[in-house]
Structure 1
Amino acid sequence: MGLAWSLLDQCYPPASRWTVDDVPDMTGIVAIVTGGNSGIGFETCRVLLEKNARVYMASRSKTKAEGAIVDLRRLTGKEALFLSLDLADLRSIKSSVEAFKSREKELHILFNNAGVMFPPLGQLTADGYDLQFGTNVLGHFYLTRLLLPILLYTARTSLEKKARIVTLSSIGAELHKCIEWDTLKDGAARRKKFNIELYCQSKFGNAVFAQELARKYGEDGIVATAINPGNINTDLLRYLPWFLSAPARYFLYTPPTGALTPLWAGTSPEGSEFNGKFLIPWARFGPPPHDSDDPVLGEKLWDWMEAQVKGL
């Protein structure tokens, strides 16, 4: 009954008491938004630009990003900056971070927003991982890990004495209670799974990662949160068959609404105290998904991910 109520509460949340009008002036703030060319990421970029932040749109497709940057310029009069990033290719992530560090000495907010949902089972990352776990979890882990030195520097030297990492999970995390290690790379165990199971596992993994990040670096000024942004009508639905996606759109919310909770975590003054919290729609605290706050599991996932990127 507890799970059923939690799912219902998150699918049909009460009106938000916090709005984008509450976002403070962000002059001098540097932010990266992965997957910022569409959906929740686009709306996150839009609000940050309107509030005078310096925004890097980290995207795989330069063409799509350039189109989104033009749209943002029209909407805000401000210019987002393109950062080439392919989370499904670990070696390219290192190049992206080096490109960013050549331009900036500080990073105040990292929005780990990008993701993939329900792709065909045959799709893998460049390194042979399940596309959903490899992109949503491992890719963001490696990006975050490489950016940690500049985030920690920012936390030490900024006025707030904090740097924030906002990782998007999903209500799907509530539906998966463990990590099945033999499904993270391609193999017989993975091929027996449905893509929806693998998606929920990746979103559970996002929550586990954020909790471990909070434990490891909270005392150093890192504020790590995991977010269920809500059930939002975005391009993530592109892999759903039409007979599911068409009716589903009538029960979904808009991207500006989906950006509320990540922006609350990333920009609000009170958000500097949110380390280790799991946030749910709209701009509320919720209980972390089952066992995602288990320190033993968190350490095991962190060690596994460290092993995957060793030597890159």
Structure 2
Amino acid sequence: MNKYQGEHIALITGASAGIGLELTRKLLSENWDVVAVNRSDFPADDMSIHNAVKSGSLRIYKTDDLADFTSLKVTLEEIKSKERRIDILFNNAGGSFPELSYSKQGREKHYELMTIVPYIILMELKELLANSRLKTVINTSSSALKFTKEFSIEVLEHPKTFRKLLGPYAASKLALSLWTQAIASQLAKDDIKIRSVDPGGNNTLRKGKQSGLPVLVEILMKLFFSPPTLGANKLNEGALGEHRHESGVFLLKGRVTGLKFKDQAHNVLERIQAIYEYEFLVS
């Protein structure tokens, strides 16, 4: 168990790059403790990160692959053994992949990583959230979900076609926001609030990493999109801003926004609950 834990503690997945990195920097600068769950390393030349690790205010838990249940379980067990509480859980890891690919469990990888894994992390760390004061979960969603034209569990798990950004990525973000909506009443029993938040248009392109974006979007991103500090601020606002007392909502441009296919919300929740109970817990 970590002895020296600050007044407020946030857990951030995907904390070592892009929006997650900027959110980590922001919270550390505001005297938060950050529990970082990463696959990749933090920038080696960032002295603020080095100093935070040295002081214990940044605690890093590495995982080989969040979408691999075996690896994920090891990481979560380590967190539960060392951390006392989590005030805000930022389920932020993910991105748009360049081609259709599948997780080790056999499901489409956007869906596994950005719809199922956030639920598993929430369930496994719910006790740490319940032990905190803020008891808040923020799921990073996307405005791309508005472009989803076909939606079903079958399409999510084994899509027949692939489109960059507007295909499995958008559908998985919609599914994430749908189960966020559906689970709110259940979490309310433990006084936990949950919201999904669109972080806006951020330039999160990384050198040496193949983009999963359409060429036109990639060009526009380079020319016009804001740095990932924008997304970090939007996630932080989604957690601590004017909607902090609401639960189950999707926030787009700071406003509560309706979701397409909302009649499917409980179907999505039931499916990922079954995956958690009958696959993850017995793996």
Same fold flag (TM > 0.5): yes
Aligned twin of 1:164? 136
Q: For 1:289 and 1:69, locate their aligned partners in 2 and report how far apart those are by CA, in whole Å.
A: 39
Kindly indicate whether the alpha-carbon contact (under 8 Å) linking 1:218 and 1:224 is maintained by their aligned counterparts in 2. Answer: no
CA separation of 1:193 and 1:84: change in aligned 2, threshold 3 A: same
Aligned twin of 1:23? none
Equivalent position amino acid for 2:240 in 1: T
After TM superposition, give the deviation of residue 239 of structure 1 in Å. Answer: 2.7
After TM superposition, give the deviation of residue 137 of structure 1 in Å. Answer: 0.6
CA separation of 1:230 and 1:75: change in aligned 2, threshold 3 A: farther
Q: Secondary structure at the match of 1:94?
A: helix
Aligned twin of 1:192? 161
CA separation of 1:129 and 1:235: change in aligned 2, threshold 3 A: farther
Matched, 1:103 2:82: yes
Aligned twin of 1:205? 175
Q: Secondary structure at the match of 1:259?
A: helix
Q: For 2:249 and 2:25, locate their aligned partners in 1 and report how far apart those are by CA, in whole Å.
A: 25
Matched, 1:43 2:10: no
Q: For 2:35 and 2:142, locate their aligned partners in 1 and report how far apart those are by CA, in whole Å.
A: 23
After TM superposition, give the deviation of residue 82 of structure 1 in Å. Answer: 0.9
Aligned twin of 1:173? 145
After TM superposition, give the deviation of residue 36 of structure 1 in Å. Answer: 0.5
Kindly indicate whether the alpha-carbon contact (under 8 Å) linking 1:134 and 1:184 is maintained by their aligned counterparts in 2. Answer: no
Q: For 1:215 and 1:88, locate their aligned partners in 2 and report how far apart those are by CA, in whole Å.
A: 27
Aligned twin of 1:22? none
Matched, 1:278 2:250: yes
Matched, 1:151 2:118: no
Kindly indicate whether the alpha-carbon contact (under 8 Å) linking 1:265 and 1:274 is maintained by their aligned counterparts in 2. Answer: no
Q: Secondary structure at the match of 1:57?
A: strand
Q: Secondary structure at the match of 1:117?
A: coil
Q: For 1:95 and 1:168, locate their aligned partners in 2 and report how far apart those are by CA, in whole Å.
A: 23
Matched, 1:245 2:218: yes
Equivalent position amino acid for 2:107 in 1: Y
1:263-296 Cα shifts (integer Å, max 9, x gaps): 012234x454021222123xx213122234x4xx
Aligned twin of 1:256? 229
CA separation of 1:27 and 1:75: change in aligned 2, threshold 3 A: closer
- With the length of structure 1 as denominator, give the TM-score of the two structures: 0.78
Aligned twin of 1:135? 113
1:63-121 Cα shifts (integer Å, max 9, x gaps): x2363865534699965211123321122222111111111121111001111203311
Kindly indicate whether the alpha-carbon contact (under 8 Å) linking 1:94 and 1:146 is maintained by their aligned counterparts in 2. Answer: no
Aligned twin of 2:67? 88
Aligned twin of 2:99? 120
Aligned twin of 1:65? 42
Matched, 1:30 2:14: no
1:229-272 Cα shifts (integer Å, max 9, x gaps): 1011003882336565234322311111111121012234x454
Matched, 1:228 2:198: yes
After TM superposition, give the deviation of residue 182 of structure 1 in Å. Answer: 1.8
Aligned twin of 1:20? none
How many corresponding residue pairs?
Answer: 269
Give % identity.
24
Where is the helix percentage greater, Structure 1 or Structure 2?
1
Q: For 2:45 and 2:184, locate their aligned partners in 1 and report how far apart those are by CA, in whole Å.
A: 32
- With the length of structure 2 as denominator, give the TM-score of the two structures: 0.85
Aligned twin of 1:215? 185
Q: Secondary structure at the match of 1:273?
A: coil
CA separation of 1:169 and 1:68: change in aligned 2, threshold 3 A: farther
- Structure 2's unaligned 5+ residue stretches are none
CA separation of 1:178 and 1:222: change in aligned 2, threshold 3 A: farther
Kindly indicate whether the alpha-carbon contact (under 8 Å) linking 1:112 and 1:140 is maintained by their aligned counterparts in 2. Answer: yes
Aligned twin of 1:308? 275
Q: For 2:51 and 2:7, locate their aligned partners in 1 and report how far apart those are by CA, in whole Å.
A: 22
- Structure 1's unaligned 5+ residue stretches are 1-25
Alpha-carbon RMSD: 2.6
Equivalent position amino acid for 2:20 in 1: G
After TM superposition, give the deviation of residue 153 of structure 1 in Å. Answer: 3.2
Q: Secondary structure at the match of 2:97?
A: coil
CA separation of 1:217 and 1:49: change in aligned 2, threshold 3 A: same
CA separation of 1:67 and 1:179: change in aligned 2, threshold 3 A: farther
